[in-house]
Amino acid sequence: MLQFEIENHCRNLIGFPLNEIGRNSNMVWFGFGKSITTVNKRGDSFKSSEFVLHIQCTWRLIKENKIITASRDIYVPKSNWNSDNEFDWDIIGENRFDELLKDFLKKYCGKIYIILLNSDPLGGLRISFTDNISLEIFPDESTEEEFWRIFTPGKLDSHFVVTGLGIEK
């Protein structure tokens, strides 16, 4: 059962701190655990977290009953955007997500820890942190595309991928 497989695989994240959040275009990542140095396929070394979650479906980061930021914020201009300029959501720092993320990271990066993980039968995931903060991931399409994945950087066999067809093996 998909729900059980997700919860079983992700439970080892309980107790890990939220270490980083970032994006590449509209794919958002969350890093958990200690900072590590690893090497990519080209042989370049880079800093990362012990575990990284890539999200390519709808998500939201909430505190109590308020959305801190969510996937659609990437397509909204930042608050001081000058409407005389063309808005390009893909430029780092130019959208609402980037703006809101900056404040969130200052306040919470390395200071909140995973306390609970719950999944649903459709591949959704809710990660509950200390300080009443949660990350909710909810697949919102019927295709076989990738929704999200969690992995250890530098270890290709560590990728746990959730798609519209279930877990990619």
CA proximity to 53, closest of 111, 107, 106, 117: 117
* C-alpha to C-alpha distance for 14 and 2, rounded to whole angstroms: 19
The secondary element (H helix, E strand) that includes residue 98 is helix 96-108
pLDDT at 131: 97
DSSP 43-54: S-EEEEEEEEEE
Look up the pTM and report it. 0.92
The answer to whether the beta carbons of residues 154 and 38 sit under 8 Å apart is yes
pLDDT, tens only, 103-116: 999 999 999 999 99
pLDDT, tens only, 91-147: 999 999 999 999 999 999 999 999 999 999 999 999 999 999 999 999 999 999 999
Neighbours of 41 (CB within 10 A): 7
Residue type, 122: L
pLDDT, tens only, 70-89: 999 999 999 988 777 889 99
Domain boundaries along the sequence of the chain: 2-168
* C-alpha to C-alpha distance for 131 and 23, rounded to whole angstroms: 24
